[in-house]
Amino acid sequence: MDVSIFPDKNVRPSEKDLASVLNGTYVLWNELREFVYKRYPMAVEEWNYPGKKYGWSYRIKDRKRAIIYFMPRDKGFMVAFVFGPKATERILETGISDKIKADLRKAKVYAEGRGIRIDVLDETFMNDIKRLIQIKLDY
């Protein structure tokens, strides 16, 4: 599921485009977006086009850093996070899914932290993603 559904640099995705490709997960996309804004009303959202290989992605950020990245895919989307050492430690102490914890442990460590991606095809990881958003905002 790592291939962009919006590869054309000249066509920034609209809400209508998202709704048509994300199918039932469009509701989940909006649920996560609203969750961030309820906890951090001053957040800023933006579409980004890093290149044809990745296509269009969407992120919500505070003044300095991304809180969450959304990557639209066919019939679903991925979310991505980057966590520093303190946030990573906190996540590993929580009841978040063992799969997410294992992915975080395996993630390569960069200067800005460890990055993870989570496929959203249904509601399976929604509560975990919300907890990750909260931890990101706390740290």
State pLDDT tens for residues 43-101.
999 999 988 888 999 999 998 899 999 999 988 999 999 999 999 999 999 999 999 99
Phi-psi sector, 72: left (phi>0), alpha (psi -120 to 50), beta? beta
pLDDT of residue 64: 85
How confident is the model over 37-47, as pLDDT tens digits?
999 999 999 99
CA dist 22 → 40, 58, 67, 123, 131 (Å): 25, 14, 21, 13, 23
* DSSP H or E run through 37: helix 26-39
pLDDT attached to residue 50: 87
Q: Are strands 109-110 and 113-120 parallel, antiparallel or unpaired?
A: antiparallel
Is the pLDDT confidence value at 118 over 90?
Answer: yes
Give the residue, 74 or 30, on which the prediction is more confident.
30
